Amino acid sequence: MKLDIDIGSGGPMSLHHLTRFPRLEFIGAPTPLEYLPRFSDYLGREIYIKRDDVTPMAMGGNKLRKLEFLAADALREGADTLVTAGAIQSNHVRQTAAVAARLGLHCVALLENPIGTQAENYLTNGNRLLLDLFNVEVEMCEALNAPDKQLEAVATRLEAQGFRPYVIPVGGSNALGALGYVESALEIAQQCEDAVSLSSVVVASGSAGTHAGLAVGLEQLMPDVELIGVTVSRTVAQQKPKVVALQQAVAQSLEVSATSDIILWDDYFAPGYGTPNEEGMEAVKLLARLEGILLDPVYTGKAMAGLIDGVAQKRFKDQGPIAFIHTGGAPALFAYHPHLLQLVLDSAPYLLKGAVFTLQLSIGGMFFGLILGFMLALMRLSAFWPFSLLSRFYVSIFRGTPLIAQLFMIYYGLPQFGIELDPIPSAMIGLSLNTAAYASETLRAAISSIDKGQWEAAASIGMTRWQTLRRAILPQSARVALPPLGNSFISLVKDTSLAATIQVPELFRQAQLITSRTLEVFTMYLAASLVYWGAEMSAIDVKKLVKKFHGQTVLHGIDLDVKPGEVVAIIGPSGSGKTTLLRSINLLEEPDSGTIQVGDITIDAGQSLARQKENIRALRQQVGFVFQNFNLFPHRTVLENIIEGPVIVKGEPKAEAVARARELLEKVGLSGKENSYPRRLSGGQQQRVAIARALAMRPEVILFDEPTSALDPELVGEVLNTIRQLADEKRTMVIVTHEMSFARDVADRAIFMDQGKIVEQGPAKALFASPQQPRTRQFLEKFLTQ
């Protein structure tokens, strides 16, 4: 088909200049321009592919574009034989043979063996097999050192035999054949017109025709697009004159100018033309596994390796979308099968080198992370509150955001502020900063675990604080810190894989796509990181919590994670440990081991709780508690009960606390009861005052310990309605209850406990509708049959 792009005689390139050349129809243009979603996710860049590999003849390929013009010219000259040359596995020769068969022409191919192999697969399979099917007359030569002269010699011999030969140069690359890729540029311009704002185009640059045709077409139609040619057989110094000469010849034939610079990358063709390399084969495997698209090991595999490395090394002019020209060549894969197996075996030294580098990166990240972590730990323990606050903020940020986000902001975001770092320093800095956040908490806990008497003993003999730390405290705390730090190092070794891949799923795909359009790299990755931070922070995080009474274990290593805004209902038979768990979270019961984290405050029950008094007080201020038996202060009025905590504990001005208390009383339906004493209220009213008292402290989470069990049945509803209202406001709540209908309808998640263990948990409605564990089903049996 002809593209309906009316540029007109006054435009940068007149379409009639292209259509006046004789042409046959082989490819059914335009070929698709497809978005590669999974590959784009992998690279963190918007990638498209121009599918010239799906042209309809002889298993596809780009040479058909050139042959539409060249074969038409051959028929115009009355030729009966097509003569061309290439390597044994030449895609061009295969497609020339197919065109000759379609047109009823004889085909003679002059072939070389550029890699010198005698492997049967290479000599008989792949493209070479297809030449036999197309009945090509094959002539072997030692080398195509002067292909134009060698082809002329073959043509002269054929003329002497009575044939009318038409010589097609290697790759179909002359000014006439390159017109096929001028038209490809027209297709790309039309396909991108309203949908994609391309920044760069990448193409394999070999015989130069494809590259030169694209250069002329894109300069006329998409002058802001950067065209990168990845060489597959020559250095830049060798390849550039060939492309420039052909570019000028094409422009002259179309009567347009060609002034754009030819950009070539020659880092990816080693060890030479026709020989696969590791980078190219990795690209072949990657695109096959991510997108189901086959590249070839000679051209497109190496060109795609250039694209992948170019993104990683930031060699493109900006962060915009990239289009890759897929020129076909998949049949050659079958010829290189034994070679590819050997390539896998030969990659072992590279894997070993990578393992050594990973270890070096891990050791470096751990070393610098420990230094910074030690400083942060001392800041956290400092009596100077700005230091302590700064340390807490640092730890919260770097523990609350993904490592991949931190690496992205360092590597891609800092250049917006004029700070450009190579990948290795970026990875080292990112890993060190992340490790420091975790190491600081380990070191702080280890230092805090040393008995206070050790500080006093050192002070008694005149040691300075630094001498005490260095000579007495650190040697003892090292024994405590080493095991968890060893685990941190193992995690760090695995985390180095992120530095190698720099890939982001889910949320970051959107950030990457937006970044490719707006170029606001730092802003977008920072925004995505903050979303992660908020999503990953837990309101409550309990790990391995154990509680014993008189030698009997009543909580067996409980793990509980409650997200902000989540309502969790804990159900189970009496004596199952529900209330003990709730009271342990608030430290009303002292656990024997395990950790409790609320926000950025962590209590380690395995250490002395007496030395964690300040943290416990801070935690309790963030955790409201509503008791089964109300526990209001009987000698104080309702208003005084509510303002006691904010005024006495938090130091709020009394007037503000009173105003807030009146709002809360209105919220729980008790306006006008400010001056009443608890004994004058019903049980339901007292419980609602208790809820208001808990809310007055502005807690991060509220714990309810069977809030209706002490109420008469007719009073239960008013308390449950108040709690239901709080759930609608997305308050974070953990509720121990025997009200099954309420737990099912109000809670986001239900937890069933029995004998001090969490037997089952899940979305509340799902757990009540279809419990998975026999014990849960037995407990809920009466409820489920109602």
- Annotated catalytic residue 273: yes
Tokens 């003993």 locate to 457
Cα–Cα distance between 207 and 66 in angstroms, integer?
A: 12
Q: What angle do CA 73, 250, 97 make, to 5 degrees?
A: 40
CA 137 to chain centre: 52
Neighbouring C-beta atoms of residue 593, cutoff 10 Å = 15
Neighbouring C-beta atoms of residue 582, cutoff 10 Å = 23
Q: Do residues 59 and 42 touch, judged by C-beta distance below 8 A?
A: no
Return the bridge partners of 542, or none.
560, 596
Residue burial 269-287, b: 16+ Cβ < 10 Å; e: rest = beeebbbbbebbbbbbebb
- Annotated catalytic residue 299: yes
Cα–Cα distance between 515 and 412 in angstroms, integer?
A: 10
Q: SS3 helix, strand, coil % of the chain, rounded to 5?
A: 55, 15, 30
Instruction: Write the CA distances from 123 to 84, 115, 118, 272, 482, integer angstroms.
Output: 18, 11, 7, 18, 61
DSSP element (H, E) containing 594 = strand 593-598
In 63-128, DSSP assigns E strands to 81-87, 106-112
Marked catalytic residue, from 122, 268, 299, 411: 299
If we measure between CA atoms, which residue out of 173, 244, 193, 239 comes closest to residue 215?
A: 244
Cα–Cα distance between 774 and 768 in angstroms, integer?
A: 13
Cα–Cα distance between 33 and 187 in angstroms, integer?
A: 9
- Annotated catalytic residue 268: no
Cα–Cα distance between 272 and 235 in angstroms, integer?
A: 10
Marked catalytic residue, from 35, 273, 543, 563: 273
Catalytically active residues are 63, 273, 299
